[in-house]
Chain A
Amino acid sequence: MGTAAEIINTLVWPVTIVASLATLYLSIQNLKDARRKSYDEFILRRKQRKQQN
């Protein structure tokens, strides 16, 4: 039981770091993607307005 506990104690940090970095990376990617999409929509709306005028 002691060995299993030692392995778990050793693995906790690396697993947390990997999971945290993956979460952070995907969160930033998600925010970037959302911003790009809203900018594209803004450009499209502006184009449509110009065409109407």
Chain B
Amino acid sequence: MKKSKWLIYTVLIGLTPLICRAFICLFRNDLEIDYIFNVVDMVTFGLVLHVSNINELEGQVHTQENNKSTYIGLSTFLIVIFSVFLGIAYLAELETTNNYNLPRIKICTGILSIFSLFFSYTIYQRQSNGNGS
């Protein structure tokens, strides 16, 4: 139950911008597949996941205190990294000189988002195991 709620309320909500872009890309012929994967959208997805992780871990009773602190620490660290990437993406949009390697930032954000999804899954998996559901 907990996992399906996580899937609907966190993952789907976080993926809404990507889903919207995918729909737009589906109905327009002049757009490339690259249009779906936007840095800002992927950063938003990662931020949503980690904020929900922190919220979930705060209320967890099945996890040891030091483990909980480690997981919350990692989530906070990743929020900081995602925020830095968001800042770079906004800055790269403003710059006309093309100094920033935006494709590289896009790939890095995508990798981090995938790992964040796995991390979030393990946290909710543990919670649903602990509740016995």
A-B residue pairs in contact (CB < 8 Å), sample of 23: A2-B97, A6-B99, A9-B104, A12-B88, A12-B101, A13-B104, A16-B111, A19-B77, A19-B78, A19-B81, A20-B111, A20-B112, A22-B77, A23-B78, A23-B115, A24-B115, A24-B118, A28-B122, A30-B67, A30-B126, A34-B125, A37-B129, A37-B130
What separation, in Å, do the CA atoms of A30 and B62 have in the docked complex?
12
| Additional 4 contacts, C-beta under 8 A, given A19-B112, A23-B78, A30-B122 | A8-B88, A12-B105, A24-B118, A26-B74
What is A's interface to B at a CB cutoff of 8 Å? Answer: 1-2, 5-6, 8-9, 12-13, 15-16, 19-20, 22-24, 26-28, 30-31, 33-34, 37-38
What separation, in Å, do the CA atoms of A16 and B130 have in the docked complex?
31
- Residue of B111, B119, B121 near A26 (CB, 8 A) is B119
B74:A2 contact, CB within 8 angstroms: no
What separation, in Å, do the CA atoms of A26 and B53 have in the docked complex?
13
Total number of B residues with any Cβ neighbor in A under 8 Å: 31
A13:B78 contact, CB within 8 angstroms: no
What is B's interface to A at a CB cutoff of 8 Å? Answer: 62, 67, 70-71, 74, 77-78, 81, 85, 88, 95, 97, 99-101, 104-105, 108, 111-112, 115-116, 118-119, 121-123, 125-126, 129-130
